[in-house]
Structure 1
């Protein structure tokens, strides 16, 4: 699944690419690990990117490229480094290294550096890290962090079976695809000096780097797919609008300045500067995201809102018979519902009562509303609703006010049993507009059913 952190990285890269006259955002699928390589996952990445506006309909988009298709170039580059004396073969295993160093935590000790081994099956190819000096990484967010070369072990670039590892594959692909700027999560910063050494050893100028702050949950722990909801697809499936997700993700570590945070992507893109991204962790606040989404939902036109709700009006979300759904009835309720939703998936519980044969059953709502005396309220409402001349919201409200007054109750208290009897829940759309849409016959039937359940 497409991690929200990956989505943020993609959006920042997309903004930078589109700010340049001929900028390109390159999508590369790094698919050399067969255990993590499935066609449906690749399709998921591409569709998730498309959902947030990153797709090949824009000339800034390039790809997807597949790392596995460049395997020959990876091997060629590894051999180039060996031929140039920048790499050497090693036949050490983990047990031997641990025996020599006395620790399982120390890096490789360079034992095979000067042994002059040639390749045979089982010997890994290691990069010969310079003994002295330091590797300086030019990072647009973090300045110029430096790494002593003495602290960088002679790392493996090709396994014992001759297959190149990710580090060199990544560098070669960047070279071949003309990558000159890399914006990615800070967890990759530790790999950067090794990659930069490989770039230089292959006679190329490293790209400009930018390492984004980690995204954390409310406990300030790094977002984890094992613990947190992190998949972009999951949020979209819950009814978070793509535009709201884009707006919120852009603000995880960066801000446009000023007091206004809810802005169209075009404005966010124009203002975005990777140099202004913070280095401190970014808190993924689901409550704030949900509030953002509610604002975006309310900003839709009614027609747009109706269209956006369609997936949640069908199976598996809809609890009513498909033939019971009436688009005209839904359109009458849509404007009432739109002001109340935080996510589009909530629409089902706001309108299910009108398409179900009977009111939904919600025990908590029933217990809360059907206090002693509720039957009197229901009987009074039933009698007056059966006789009321005009079946419209204003007339229905007037009747309910009369029932409330007769029982010395405020309108809010008096209407609670009626709301639960008709809609099944204590919270929902405006009651009298709902009754108008439901109609006299069905409203009376539900009041009768509630009275029967109460035993009177």
Structure 2
């Protein structure tokens, strides 16, 4: 059986957003599911619009999401000699020919065709045929190179998303495969790359469907069988427009900076055009085990931030506490916050992450929660005034005294709170809410004994004693 070889071939002309990176996720998952090879290829022939910055974001975004490539990155601009060698070979074999029709002549031809209600297309003036006399070569004109497209018949392929597609060869004119300066065109470079890299499956956006029949014809002319094609429907934004920078899409790396877990984004993206039954939440390993091309969706996927946050929340709950601790340290570092020595290593920060992660969708939110352990808190004066009264102030002072001597762990702290409630005839909220406000700076937290146990005793006592 032939080894599966897939590729992701972005053009570095703008930053990469979630809609683009899905075209990396599926070929990556398919290669991994089939013990295949995943190749990264940068299609940078649009020299004016390509930038190193865009390349960096592609590589960085893929690295963050764990979409590791086995070969590459290959850059098309570094393969020009190869393309020119193939062009020469095609000219030598009569598979391509020079065309001297000027842009003005081409425009005039198109205008005539449109006036006659015909489809505008190149008419084959310079196409060599047996017994045909070509026009005299004009002086000082650099020709384009055109591919000799087959006449008659049709191009047919079974698309893994769209089903059977058939295009008549009479619909296709002779494609320009090299410009007057000799530089090859996009459709030609793609074919040579796919051929040289032994690509078996092309999984890409359906904006490429129109290129496919031309690419198949060039491949076949060179004696190659075309790969399997799967053309993915577009990803739409929340307004139902095609996702793009112009329509407010964010760079993939921004989701990293906003504290989303990479596995959550991979899970969410996978479901934007592929399914495994009704499974909504799955691990990266499950995605690899389940992924195939038979369950790709036929309709456009629509991005939904609320759904992404829900998926992210489920992954936060499942995440390893040590992993979360390292990500939270990064978040604090980004904020310029130096963590106390006790949180630099050891089990304290992971334990804090374990306690609060159920309430969060991102590590930014988790860092916000844990800031109570890292710096001073400022409870709302109005909330304090509403919660502190003559009945519970003495109880809080008594609790502080008890907490000075108890074993510093959840069970003993819980007992100290219960003993204080019993002594003063108070209910849990009358003690717990003011304690939370004073110590944590907020009225809502997980179980108060568990939260307090993760503080240093001195910090809790100092904050409780601020009620005077």
Calculate the TM-score normalised by the size of structure 2.
0.78
Residues 306 and 197 of structure 1, relative CA distance in 2, 3 Å threshold: same
Displacement of 1:434: 3.1
Matches within 5 A, 1:237-316: 237-257=257-277, 259-314=278-333, 316=334
Tell me the equivalent position of 2:402: 388
Out of 302, 307, 317, the residue aligned to residue 335 of structure 2 is 317
C-alpha contact 1:180 1:208 (8 A) present in aligned 2: yes
Tell me the equivalent position of 1:161: 181
Q: Which moved more, 1:111-120 or 1:294-303?
A: 111-120
Matches within 5 A, 1:207-246: 207-246=227-266
2:123 counterpart of 1:110: yes
Displacement of 1:74: 1.7
What does the per-residue CA deviation read over 1:7-35, in whole Å, with 9 as the maximum and x for residues that have no partner?
333332233334446x3222222222234
Out of 427, 434, 439, the residue aligned to residue 422 of structure 1 is 439
2:66 counterpart of 1:49: no
In structure 2, C-alpha distance between the alignment counterparts of 1:404 and 1:288, rounded to whole Å: 47
Tell me the equivalent position of 1:17: 31
SS of equivalent residue, structure 2 residue 177? strand
2:349 counterpart of 1:330: yes
Residues 419 and 41 of structure 1, relative CA distance in 2, 3 Å threshold: same
SS of equivalent residue, structure 1 residue 146? strand
Residues 404 and 4 of structure 1, relative CA distance in 2, 3 Å threshold: farther
Tell me the equivalent position of 1:433: 450
Residues 149 and 264 of structure 1, relative CA distance in 2, 3 Å threshold: same
Gaps of 5+ in 1: none
Displacement of 1:91: 1.2
Matches within 5 A, 1:147-226: 147-226=167-246
Displacement of 1:166: 0.8
Out of 87, 91, 110, the residue aligned to residue 102 of structure 2 is 91
C-alpha contact 2:236 2:301 (8 A) present in aligned 1: yes
Out of 80, 87, 90, the residue aligned to residue 71 of structure 1 is 80
Displacement of 1:157: 1.8
C-alpha contact 1:396 1:432 (8 A) present in aligned 2: no
Displacement of 1:279: 0.9
C-alpha contact 1:217 1:283 (8 A) present in aligned 2: yes
C-alpha contact 1:113 1:128 (8 A) present in aligned 2: no
Displacement of 1:374: 4.3
In structure 2, C-alpha distance between the alignment counterparts of 1:120 and 1:79, rounded to whole Å: 21
Residues 85 and 260 of structure 1, relative CA distance in 2, 3 Å threshold: closer
Residues 109 and 412 of structure 1, relative CA distance in 2, 3 Å threshold: farther
In structure 1, C-alpha distance between the alignment counterparts of 2:261 and 2:387, rounded to whole Å: 44
Out of 22, 34, 44, the residue aligned to residue 8 of structure 1 is 22
Give RMSD over aligned pairs: 3.6
What does the per-residue CA deviation read over 1:261-312, in whole Å, with 9 as the maximum and x for residues that have no partner?
4334344323322133121112333333333333333223433433343322
Calculate the TM-score normalised by the size of structure 1.
0.80
Q: Which moved more, 1:23-32 or 1:421-430?
A: 421-430
